[in-house]
Amino acid sequence: MEYVSPEGLRLDGRRPKEVRQLKCELAVLHRADGSAYLEMGNTKVLATVYGPHEVSQRSQSLHDRALVHCEYSMATFSTGERRRRPKGDRRSVELSLVIRQSMEAAILTHLLPRTQIDIYVQVLQADGGTRAACINAATLALADAGVPMRDLVASCAAGYLNGTPLLDLNYVEDSAGGPDLTVALLPKAEKVTLLQMDSKLPLDTFEAVLGLAMDGCKAIAAHMRQALLEHTRKQAVVRGPVRL
Amino acid sequence: MYQQKQFFKKTRGGKILKVHREHYLRDDIVCGSLACTTCAHGDSTVLSSEAAQYLLIDTNVALHQMDLLENAAIADVIVPEVVLSEVQARNKAIHGRLRLLVADKSRRFFVFSNEHHKDTFVKTEKGEIVNDRNDRAIRRATTWYQSHLAGKTPDVLLLTNDADNARRARDEGAAAQTVYAYVQSRTDKPELLDFVARTGDTGGEAAGPSAEGDAGPQAKRRMLYAEHKGMAELTAGLQKGLFHQGKLRVNRFNCFEAYVGSQSVGKEILIQGREDLNRAVDGDVVAVELLPPEQWKGPEGGIFREHDEEEEGVAENAEEGAGLAPEIAEDAPGAALENLDIGKEGGRVPTGRVVGIIKRNWRNYAGSLEPMKGPGGSGAMAHPLFVSVDRRVPKIRIQTRQLANLADKRIIVAIDKWDRTSRYPEGHYIKTLGDIGDRATESELLLMENDINTRPFSQAVLNCLPPLPWSVSDADVAKPWRADLRNLRVCSVDPIGCRDIDDALHCTALPNGNFEIGVHIADVTNFVHPETPLDLEAADRGTSVYLVERRIDMLPKPLTEDICSLRADVDRLAFSVIWEMTPSADIVKSHYTKSIIRSSAALSYPEAQARMDDPHMSDPLTEDLRNLNRLAKIMRQRRTERGALTLASPEVKFEIDTETHNPLDVGMYQIREANQMIEEYMLLANVSVAEKILKHFPSCSLLRRHPVPTPQMFEPLLRTAAAVGIELDVGSSKALADSLDRAQGSDPYFNKLIRILATRCMTQAVYFCSGELSPPEYHHYGLASPLYTHFTSPIRRYADVVVHRLLAAALNLTPLPERTRDKKSMHDLSDGLNYRHRNAQMAGRASVELHTLIFFKDRAVDAEARIVKVRSNGFIVFVPKYGIEGPVYLTKKPDKGAGPDPNDDFVVDEEHQTITSKDKRQTYKVLDTVTVHIEVQEPQPHRPKLILTLASDSKEQDGFA
Ligand SMILES: [Zn+2]
């Protein structure tokens, strides 16, 4: 199948190095300490953060840093086929772990010893790149909650189809069976906190795809930072001028 | 990153799914016109600013008028994206040709991405069907171009054969024309009219006058064929088991007899006669309905066929001429017939009729026009019948204004449609190849019929060659993994005049009494790198093709004849397999390496043989050859003991006049010991490499296997052998090899003849990817080897190139290319290589056949022949000296309509394979020797045929009568 036409357009009309339309909204749920809603194309994700709060199970408490807890789930209606998705299946467990690890790399956990931070990420609609979208939403929710972080973690997937590296695969491209690489990046330090790929690629191609994914992360980070700034500005207006 | 979303809902599978797809609309889609000042210009900006008008085509024009579009007179064409994707969904082949046109910048075809342009995207309206929406999108693209280029010179014209669409376009302010009207307006190129396909498009003003318009309006004409059922009805019928689906294969001997191999019936379904074939053409995928068992038929016997062209009036002598003798099962005409177990059910087999066409497999056909009664005035429209050289294809009615020009030419024609009212399919002329009977024309035709690419290599391919003159560089020598073997006494042995020397050998006696033997193969992959234009071209060609008078190379000439060729006295790069062997030919160790060699002699087979045979010669090279030969004989002996078959094929060799390229003499190709010696080492190298690569890459090695023939395939051989009182055991290749050794007749040629007949029962060996089959299936029957591959001819076979890469990767020299690691692309590759390999052989045979015909044109000769098959009205003979085979008729062809000829006084005994005259004075038995008279006759002008008749001195008695 042809995923990139000789005219250089992908099936949905993007060019190979373009990400899908990105939309994010912060503080969408007021009861939570932090929350964010994020769309990458048709992939829609909601992330909520509770904490930092006292560790609910004393025994798990860490004396030198915060305990990060993460739970990933997928809404029944998130794919075309409605299916009950049991909690705690292998994929959810794996994804929870992946999100937690990327967040732990960004959160300054040593500033919050003996506390717990809960991150809940729910996929409302899945259209490829859910992993990346979850990470991005979680970062924004953490920022909204005011959790101290080194940097925003931005994540993006890239693939390789028809001999072309493609950025931010959608569901159709994702199910083509080609290599699919998800990267999470701390953009300021250019530090990769997550790199996952489930197939083989020759080294030179891999480097091209990785480079593309990292560029994607940076673009997404810029967009998220902008959204965060606007949100803060709005909040400043709502709360009135800051008096020193 | 301008973006905006639209959502489409789609349903698929049995379940209804709600599918959202993003659809981005852009503002950076260009119009592709050099006249435009607003769009960015780039590589794809091809539409000329000087063109009178731009043609924007709709889907049906692309689907049906491709031959017209491919004509160089048509340029500056806009192909909307929506058309391209509709074409892709409906016809892959046409889509490929359209893509080629677009890729060829000189043709100035531009793909306009209308579906992603913010101004030309149209949303499906409520209740609107897809076709209407797409037509609307095409019209929107037309009007957009008109306003976008307003005030600039070229106009945009929508080409559509759909009258309704054209009218709407005009209503919306766009210019629109039918193809026919447009071509008529091209007064600069009147010959374009021949190329217009006559399709059954909707709308009255459609595609110009019908070919048989003089026969009155369509409605009043007699329906000759049953209606084809619609797709919905076919699908339902197939599911219920009423119909059976399969690919139609027409008998090469008789275009009104065909078979459909259907999985649901489990047997071949016979289809006989024009009505039951119901306009299906060879290769079409059809739906067949079985007739009630009482109407089942058996295949027709006899060796010739009437063409039932009653109404044509032109007398046609449809007697089969003689041709080249078949080598393997697939070569034999009517091979399918032989495999049916006829006779067990009273000669009846499941018989059916075609009720619908699931997929057409029409291609371009090469042939000539049937001579017409009465002169066709020049310039007037004529409707001659076209006869394809592929006898499985029905005659095709075309229309032309240049009848006089085409009369004695070989031409190419395509089928456009086949209505119920018309006896023949209707088609159109594509191009002229040359005069009938002309050697060059006929050669070109046989290349075309076998889908062989004879185009010169493109500049992109030639750019991949190393700079010339090339020689081994210091850098090559310095490579740590390249062994310098220039000190070895290497030589090559090949056919006389061979310029593409793939392989060379060396043999050194070791102090411990053993021998070091090396097979050195041209290091082609040092020059052909994966995924380069050169590599892709070679992969597509698959193999070099050897015709009698010319060679069509897989790789460009500098590589084939110089850089890769292991010529004498020059340094060359090689890939070597080196063994240490005991004097009893046991391998002690083996070793693979890239190397540099310097061949000390490029010998021919006769030269090598002469050296070995000459007792006065005792130079080191000759001694090497003798050692090699001695070891080869031991290996050969061992192979035979394992059950490898010594097969035979009737190869002939032409002596060609260097000036005229006409054949001067023809004779059996002589197999010498030297040939067998080289063959033995090549087999050994191939087997060794197969083992090595499979060990490292168990799932993606390219191997070659030869399937075990089924018992049915041996039936003709067993029948023949039984008739002459010989018992053959076909239980295993070993048993067959032994019984073939025992089959001795009254003369020395008898055994060879039996071997030739045995070879014909076998199928072709095939390439495959190791991951697709289980190890027992890797078996090579003919060689009695559990593993085999092709490593030794990378200059002329692409399979060997792939195997070289696999071996290099196994030695950790280069990484395995991405494509070789992928099972799917390896599957496609081996399919493609098998196809190319088969075609190359067919073309080679056709070329020999052509030259045989030319050779006998001016000389009639008598020659000894052997009867290989007895038929109801004669027998088929094989002439060993010339490698030809054909029918000899004992009875006259019965007149049309008349019953059996009273003079038909021969009786056939099927069991004993004899034919006896009523008066018992003459008996012919299978494998008998007869003398035949070989002569070229021209029953029709420019249609020569090789005719075999019984020589007047009748039959030589040899004890069987
Ligand atoms: Zn423009």
Cβ(B713)–Cβ(B781) below 8 Å: no
Q: How many CB atoms lie within 10 A of CB B245?
A: 19
Q: A124: pLDDT confidence band, cut at 50, 70 and 90?
A: very high
Domain ranges of chain A: 22-239
Q: What pLDDT is attached to residue B895?
A: 47
Q: What pLDDT is attached to residue A243?
A: 61
- Distance from the Cα of residue A228 to its chain's centroid: 15
φ and ψ of B266, to 5 deg: 85, -5
Which chain B residue's Cα is nearest to A16?
Answer: B1
The CATH number given to B2-187 is 3.40.50.1010
| Distance separating alpha carbons of residues B380 and B382, to the nearest angstrom | 6
- Looking at residue B358, its amino acid is I
Q: Which CATH superfamily is domain A22-239 in?
A: GHMP Kinase, N-terminal domain (3.30.230.70)
Q: How many helices (H) and strands (E) does chain A have?
A: 4, 9
Instruction: Look at residues B710, B875, B715 and name the one whose alpha carbon lies nearest to residue B301.
Output: B875
Q: Mean per-residue pLDDT for B412-419? A: 87
Minimal C-alpha gap between A84 and chain B (Å): 16
CB < 8 Å from B in window 82-121 of A: none
Instruction: Report CA-CA distances (Å) from B448 to A50, B412, B430, B452, B846.
Output: 73, 10, 13, 6, 11
What is the tens place of the pLDDT at every residue in A150-198?
999 999 999 998 889 999 998 889 888 888 999 999 999 999 999 999 8
Q: What pLDDT is attached to residue B16?
A: 59
Q: B17: pLDDT confidence band, cut at 50, 70 and 90?
A: low
Q: What pLDDT is attached to residue B318?
A: 41
Which chain B residue's Cα is nearest to A8?
Answer: B113
| Distance separating alpha carbons of residues B687 and B695, to the nearest angstrom | 12
Instruction: Report CA-CA distances (Å) from A162 to A165, A166, B532, B942.
Output: 8, 9, 15, 50
Cβ(B756)–Cβ(B683) below 8 Å: no
Pairing of strands A67-74, A115-125: parallel
| Distance separating alpha carbons of residues B251 and B392, to the nearest angstrom | 6
Q: How far is the CA of B160 from the centre of ligand 1 (A)?
A: 23
Lowest-confidence segment of B117-121, B252-256, B649-653 by average pLDDT: B649-653
Residue B347 DSSP SS3: coil
- Nearest CB among B18, B22, B26 relative to A170 is that of B22
Q: CA gyration radius for chain B? A: 32
Contacts of B79 in chain A (CB under 8 A): none
Asked, colleague to colleague, whether B231-359 and B362-436 share their fold, the answer is: yes
Give the environment of ion ligand 1: residues with CB less than 5 A: B 31, 36, 39
Domain ranges of chain B: 2-187, 231-359, 362-436, 459-708+765-845, 712-759, 859-958
Helices (H), B565-619: 605-613
Q: Inter-chain contact B22–A5, Cβ cutoff 8 Å?
A: no
Could you write out the three-class secondary structure of B821-837?
HCHHHHHHHHHHHHHHH
- Looking at residue B575, its amino acid is F
Q: How far is the CA of B40 from the centre of ligand 1 (A)?
A: 7
Instruction: Look at residues B684, B700, B636, B635 and name the one whose alpha carbon lies nearest to residue B791.
Output: B684
Does domain B231-359 fall under CATH 2.60.40.10? My reply is no
> Which residues have a Cβ under 8 Å from the Cβ of B830 and sit 6 or more positions away?
B702, B766, B767, B768, B769, B799
Tokens read off for B243:
């119909």
Taking the alpha carbons at both ends of chain A, their separation in whole angstroms is: 63
pTM over 0.80: no
Sequential DSSP letters for B170-217:
HHTT-EEE-HHHHHHH-TT-GGGGGG------SSTT-SSS-TTGGG--
Place of tokens 């050697």: B439
Q: B304: pLDDT confidence band, cut at 50, 70 and 90?
A: very low
Q: What pLDDT is attached to residue B341?
A: 37
Contacts of A5 in chain B (CB under 8 A): 81, 111, 113
The pLDDT mean for chain B works out to 80
Q: Inter-chain contact A14–B24, Cβ cutoff 8 Å?
A: yes
Q: B805: pLDDT confidence band, cut at 50, 70 and 90?
A: very high
Tokens read off for B110:
């531009």
Q: How many CB atoms lie within 10 A of CB A18?
A: 20
Instruction: Look at residues B346, B347, B327 and name the one whose alpha carbon lies nearest to residue B337.
Output: B347
Instruction: Report CA-CA distances (Å) from B691 to B219, B331, B644, B703, B706.
Output: 68, 31, 18, 10, 16
Q: How many CB atoms lie within 10 A of CB A230?
A: 11
Q: CA gyration radius for chain A? A: 18
Q: How many alpha carbons lie under 13 Å from residue B457 in its C-beta half-sphere?
A: 24
| Distance separating alpha carbons of residues B663 and A207, to the nearest angstrom | 59
- DSSP lists the bridge partners of residue B891 as none
- Looking at residue B366, its amino acid is A
Lowest-confidence segment of B12-21, B189-198, B553-562 by average pLDDT: B12-21
Q: Inter-chain contact A202–B21, Cβ cutoff 8 Å?
A: no
What is the tens place of the pLDDT at every residue in A8-33?
899 888 999 999 989 999 999 988 99
What is the tens place of the pLDDT at every residue in B563-577?
999 999 999 999 999
Q: What pLDDT is attached to residue B359?
A: 85
- Looking at residue B620, its amino acid is P
- Looking at residue B125, its amino acid is E
Long-range contacts, stretch B37-41, CB < 8 angstroms, 24+ apart? B38/B148
Share of residues in chain B with pLDDT > 70 (%)? 83
Sequential DSSP letters for B78-117:
EEEHHHHHHHHHH-HHHHHHHHHHHH-GGG-EEEE-GGGB
Position B506 pLDDT exceeds 60: yes
Minimal C-alpha gap between B3 and chain A (Å): 7
φ and ψ of B766, to 5 deg: -135, 155
What is the tens place of the pLDDT at every residue in B580-618?
999 998 999 999 999 999 999 999 988 999 998 888 888
- DSSP lists the bridge partners of residue B861 as B934
Indicate the helix (H) or strand (E) that contains B404. Answer: helix B403-406
- Nearest CB among B17, B21, B113 relative to A7 is that of B113
Position B308 pLDDT exceeds 50: no
Region for residue B670 given its phi and psi (left: phi exceeds 0; alpha: psi -120 to 50; beta: otherwise): beta
Pairing of strands A154-161, A164-167: antiparallel
Q: Mean per-residue pLDDT for B244-259? A: 80
Does domain B859-958 fall under CATH 2.130.10.10? My reply is no
Lowest-confidence segment of B254-268, B393-407, B846-860, B892-906 by average pLDDT: B892-906
Q: What pLDDT is attached to residue B692?
A: 93
Beta strands in B512-619 (DSSP E): 515-522, 545-546, 551-552, 571-581, 587-604
Could you write out the three-class secondary structure of A182-230?
EEEEECCCCEEEEEEECCCCCHHHHHHHHHHHHHHHHHHHHHHHHHHHH
What is the tens place of the pLDDT at every residue in B422-447?
888 988 888 888 888 788 888 888 88
Q: How far is the CA of B32 from the centre of ligand 1 (A)?
A: 6
Indicate the helix (H) or strand (E) that contains B232. Answer: helix B231-240
CB of A199 less than 8 A from some CB of B: no
Q: How many helices (H) and strands (E) does chain B have?
A: 25, 36
Q: Inter-chain contact A21–B5, Cβ cutoff 8 Å?
A: yes
Position B215 pLDDT exceeds 70: no
Q: Inter-chain contact A6–B815, Cβ cutoff 8 Å?
A: no
Q: B205: pLDDT confidence band, cut at 50, 70 and 90?
A: very low
DSSP B382: B
The CATH number given to B362-436 is 2.40.50.700
CB of A205 less than 8 A from some CB of B: yes
Q: What pLDDT is attached to residue B648?
A: 66
- Nearest CB among A7, A9, A80 relative to B19 is that of A80
Instruction: Look at residues A38, A220, A34 and name the one whose alpha carbon lies nearest to residue A127.
Output: A38
Q: A141: pLDDT confidence band, cut at 50, 70 and 90?
A: very high
Chain A interface, best mutation among B15, B21, B85, B100, by max A CB count within 10 A: B21
Q: How far is the CA of A5 from the centre of ligand 1 (A)?
A: 20
Instruction: Look at residues A107, A71, A102, A67 and name the one whose alpha carbon lies nearest to residue A89.
Output: A71
Q: ipTM score of the complex? A: 0.88
Cβ(A19)–Cβ(A168) below 8 Å: yes
Judge if the upstream peptide bond of residue B80 is cis by omega within 30 degrees of 0: no
Beta strands in B426-570 (DSSP E): 426-435, 482-484, 490-494, 503-509, 515-522, 545-546, 551-552
Q: What pLDDT is attached to residue B270?
A: 85
Beta strands in B399-481 (DSSP E): 409-417, 426-435
Q: How many alpha carbons lie under 13 Å from residue B229 in its C-beta half-sphere?
A: 18
Instruction: Report CA-CA distances (Å) from B8 to A12, A127, A166, A171, B132.
Output: 11, 14, 23, 14, 16
| Distance separating alpha carbons of residues B392 and B755, to the nearest angstrom | 30
Pairing of strands B175-177, B663-668: unpaired
Q: Inter-chain contact A42–B20, Cβ cutoff 8 Å?
A: yes
What is the tens place of the pLDDT at every residue in B132-170?
999 999 999 999 998 898 877 778 999 998 888 999 999
Place of tokens 């999985």: B263
Q: Mean per-residue pLDDT for B348-375? A: 81
Place of tokens 């006389």: B496
